Amino acid sequence: MRLSAPWTDAEVVPERTTALDLFERTGNRTGQAYCWDSLAHAYRGLDRHAEAIGCFQRALGLFRALGDHYNQATALTGLGDGHAARGDRAEARACHRQALDILRELGHPEADDLQRRLTQAAPA
């Protein structure tokens, strides 16, 4: 879940942190997963890649527990992007491959875009 204007990434962090606390207190794992994902995107937008990776990992774990395959793929894509931003190409590729496998299983059209990204990022 990516928030759009008028929110800035810096504004999203405290808002989603407050929402996350509420979802944790009420046991709403779906809400927690989306908050972690939203926080990850905000941190990535702020170039805080280590924090983004941690948030994507939390979101991924929750999406797996919920059986939400599509959002597992989006979290894995975000993880891969975070690792790439930190210069860890091997980990980035591993995450992107896992995401691609899920998207292909789902027959999702985003699989083609991710495949193109992987092909373009492959070492020459």
**Please, what is the average pLDDT of the chain?**
92
pLDDT score, position 3: 46
Structural domains for the chain: 9-121 (1.25.40.10)
Query: Of 29, 92, 39, 26, nearest to 63 (Cα)?
Result: 29
- Tokens encoding 85: 């931003």
- State the Cα torsion 101-44-117-34 to the nearest 10°: 30
Residue 41 has pLDDT above 90, yes or no: yes
Distance from C-alpha of 51 to C-alpha of 63, rounded to nearest angstrom:
18
What confidence score (pLDDT) does residue 124 get?
55
- Give residue-wise pLDDT tens across range 46-86: 999 999 999 999 999 999 999 999 999 999 999 999 999 99
The whole-number pLDDT of residue 2 equals 47
Structure-derived torsion over alpha carbons of residues 67, 70, 74, 79, reported in degrees to the nearest 10:
40
Which residue type occupies 47? Answer: D
> What radius of gyration, in Å, describes the C-alpha atoms of the chain?
15
